[in-house]
Amino acid sequence: MSVVLARIDNRLLHGIIVTQWAPQSGSNRVMVIDDDTANNAVSKATMKMARPAGNAISIITEEKALTNFKSGKYDPEKLLILAKEPKTFLDLVNSGVKIDKLIIGGTTARENGIEISKRAFADDAEIEDYEKLLEKGVELISQYVPADKEVVVTKEFLEDRKNK
């Protein structure tokens, strides 16, 4: 199993993912990890219709994802993983899933949060999760579309944004 792209995106699977990120990633499976979406038949069915060409799709809860990773279900796959928050990725990394790089894509503004980039924001709990991911060796960048310049997110970057 290899995670070829890991991305935080409040919209999960949408046009930019399908037309730009998935083709660039070389993935053969898109995994959406979101409890609400996985437990909503209409949302799940709608998202399945948006599946990128050449990719299988899994829309599952975090618990199911962790179980499937532990059982080796995704060992032969090249995964593009989408979730709404950094805690999901921290839980994956803590359970042994190797994620080298996490892209912070589009997220909504947070009350009392910080702006990571023009389209990405984080609250205190998310900042803490980002810092833990950095400590575990995960490279963090913010980038909305592949053509955008990468914003490298470090612990110092987060501290600087919090102090503004």
For residue 112, what pLDDT is reported? 85
pLDDT recorded at residue 104 = 98
- Separation of first and last alpha carbons in the chain: 40
Cα–Cα distances in angstroms (integers) from residue 87 to residues 18, 25, 91, in the given order: 24, 22, 6
**Total structural domains in the chain?**
1
Predicted confidence pLDDT, tens digits, the chain (164 residues): 799 999 999 999 999 999 999 999 999 999 999 999 999 999 999 999 999 999 999 999 999 999 999 999 999 999 999 999 999 999 999 999 999 999 999 999 888 899 999 999 999 999 999 999 999 999 999 999 999 999 999 999 999 988 87
pTM of the entire predicted model = 0.95
Q: What is the pLDDT of residues 88-131, one digit of tens each?
A: 999 999 999 999 999 999 999 888 899 999 999 999 999 999 99
Residue type, 57: I
Residue among 125, 45, 46, 131 at smallest CA distance from 84? 125
Give the per-residue pLDDT at 164.
72
Burial status of residue 80 (CB atoms within 10 A of its CB: 0-12, 13-18, 19 or more): buried
Domain that holds residue 150: 2-162
Q: What is the CATH number of the domain that holds 21?
A: 3.40.35.10
3-class DSSP state for residue 154?
A: coil
pLDDT score, position 39: 97
What's the CA gap between 132 and 115, in Å, rounded?
19
SS3 69: helix
Distance of CA 1 to the CA centre of its chain: 17
Q: What is the mean pLDDT of the chain?
A: 95
Cβ-proximal residues to 119 (8 Å cutoff; 6+ apart), any chain: 105, 106, 107, 142, 144
